[in-house]
A = this chain, B = another copy of it.
C-alpha cells in the first residue's frame, strides 16, 4: 500500500488554490459518488486516487492509488467532513467550438458569477435540462473551485463550461439575447423563444458593457405580498430553465 510523501501532500494542499490549479491544470474531486462517476464516465482525467486506509476500495484501476491515515486525509481535503476518497484530476479538454447550440431551447451566459456554489448549481440545472454548453465571462468564478465541483455533482463532466468575453461569442444575428433583471417583463407572460440568457453578478446584476446586447429583460415576479428582496441567481436559473424548457417537456 503506497502512502503519500510529504511533498505530494504539500502539492495536493496547494491545489486548494486557484493559482496552483491553473498552473498545473489539475484539480481535486472528493467523495465516493463523484469519484465513482468520474471513474465510470471519464477515467482518463484521473491522475491519482487517494483513499483512507480503512476504506474498502475494490475496483481494479490502472491509476496510482495512495492509502493514507484519516488525519492526513483531513489535512488535504477541502471539506469539513472529509469523505473516504478523493482524486487528483486533469482539467477537462478545452473546447475550441465557440458556437452555441441551442438544443431547441436556450443557453446561459454567466456574467461575473461570483459564488462557486452558484456556478456548480447552475451547471447541474443545465445538465438536467439538456444544455450541454454554457459560456461565462472571464471574471466568473473558476469551474475547478472545489465548491463549484462539489455543487455541480457529476454535471461538470457533461456540461461544457467555456470562459470567453461576450463580444467574442459566435452569435448569429438572429440570436435573441435575454437577460434576467428585476426590471424585466414577467417571464410567465412572455412568449419565450430559443435564445441566450445572460445571468448577472449576485450583487450587481448585468455588467453595463453587456446591456447593449440585450434584446429583452426577463423577471420572475414575486408574490404581491412578498417582502423578499431578491431571488438567488441559481434559483432564478432553475426557474428560467424550467420556463424555457416546459413547452418541450409538456
Q: A128-B222, A223-B245, A249-B221 are in contact. Are A121 and B228 (CB under 8 A)?
A: no
Q: Do B231 and A188 touch across chains, with their CB atoms under 8 A apart?
A: no
Q: A154-B229, A239-B238 are in contact. Are A224 and B130 (CB under 8 A)?
A: yes
Name the CB-closest residue of B to A117.
Answer: B117
A246 within 8 A of B: yes
A25 within 8 A of B: no
Provide the A120-154 mask, 1 if CB < 8 A to any CB of B, else 0: 01001101111110000000000000000000011
A59 within 8 A of B: no
B129, B186, B188, B235: which contacts A238 (Cβ < 8 A)?
B235
A227 within 8 A of B: yes
> Inside 8 A of A124's CB, which chain B residues have their CB?
228, 231-232, 235
Q: How many copies of this chain? A: 2
A189 within 8 A of B: yes
Closest-CB distance, A190 to chain B (whole angstroms): 11
A155 within 8 A of B: yes
8 Å CB interface, A199-250 against B: 220-229, 231-232, 234-235, 238-239, 242-243, 245-246, 248-250
> Inside 8 A of A229's CB, which chain B residues have their CB?
153-154
Closest-CB distance, A205 to chain B (whole angstroms): 16
Q: Do A121 and B188 touch across chains, with their CB atoms under 8 A apart?
A: no
Q: Do A226 and B128 touch across chains, with their CB atoms under 8 A apart?
A: yes
A53 within 8 A of B: no
A22 within 8 A of B: no
> Inside 8 A of A223's CB, which chain B residues have their CB?
103, 105, 128-131, 245, 248-249
Closest-CB distance, A230 to chain B (whole angstroms): 8
> Inside 8 A of A117's CB, which chain B residues have their CB?
117
> Inside 8 A of A222's CB, which chain B residues have their CB?
128-130
Name the CB-closest residue of B to A243.
Answer: B242
Name the CB-closest residue of B to A222.
Answer: B128
Contacts A154-B229, A220-B242 known; list 15 others, CB within 8 Å: A103-B225, A117-B117, A128-B222, A128-B228, A129-B223, A129-B226, A130-B222, A155-B228, A158-B227, A158-B228, A186-B249, A223-B245, A238-B238, A242-B242, A242-B243
Interface residues of A (CB under 8 A from B): 103, 105, 117, 121, 124-125, 127-132, 153-155, 158, 186, 188-189, 220-229, 231-232, 234-235, 238-239, 242-243, 245-246, 248-250
